[in-house]
Amino acid sequence: MKILPTISELGAASGRAFTAHGRLFMGIGFVSEGATFALNVFGMQGDNAVQFVTALASLLISFWGIYALLVAIKKPTLSLSAAYGEAWQGLSGYLWVNVLIFLALAVGLLLLVIPGILAAFFFIFAPYVFVWEGVGGVKAMRTSYRYVRPHAWAVAVRMAPVFSLALFGLTGGYIAETVFGTPGNLFEIVFGVLIVPFLAIYQFFLYDSLRRNQPLS
């Protein structure tokens, strides 16, 4: 019996959701990318202290934007300002989940590379657990692990496009600038506005299929 949707099914569902509410999703991405770009430009003109502060502010805005995007996926009838407002109210809990994931990843990488990769893989849905189930901290990580572990290979196959596009997003700016002469920041803004929302929707549908196939106990 099929438990999880195929890659093509996940992609089709994500495409329909993005098409239906793309204005909201892209708006959130544009605000986040635009604000971080402006902060980075400002920071480059200052001393080390200014650069440090603007880097922290950019990181905070990036997490706020991703959280607002997840809120919008959950409640697509919200306005852009309402999505950001609701995300702001729960931002500390969302940040804490991501800090714990980062710590687990860091400890795993210090031990060996493989444990770090496994930590990132098994806890990847913890932010979704926080948003959709209202469970935070270590419990969100445990819930993500419980969802992924029985279907680890199937999840890995379905997450392969996400990992590939994420890697492209990390390196694409450098490639665009060095090979094609296109400003790397422009690539990052386009990627953040168009691709990141689609990937977040794709991961939601995969998370939701895992969640719905769990036993009640």
pLDDT in tens, 178-187: 665 555 577 7
pLDDT in tens, 67-123: 999 999 999 999 999 999 999 999 999 999 999 999 988 887 777 667 778 888 899
pLDDT of residue 130: 96
List, in sequence order, the alpha helices (H) in 75-149. 80-89, 91-111, 113-122, 126-133, 137-148
Q: Tell me the pTM.
A: 0.88
Burial category of 194 from C-beta neighbours within 10 Å (exposed 0-12, middle 13-18, buried 19 and up):
middle
- pLDDT of residue 216 exceeding 50: no
Instruction: Give the separation between CA 87 and CA 66, rounded to whole angstroms.
Output: 9
Residue showing tokens 């195929």: 6
**Averaged pLDDT, 142-149:** 94
For the CA atoms of the chain, what is the radius of gyration? 18
Instruction: Give the separation between CA 97 and CA 92, rounded to whole angstroms.
Output: 9
The token pair at 98 is 């991501």
Confidence of residue 2 (pLDDT cuts 50, 70, 90): low
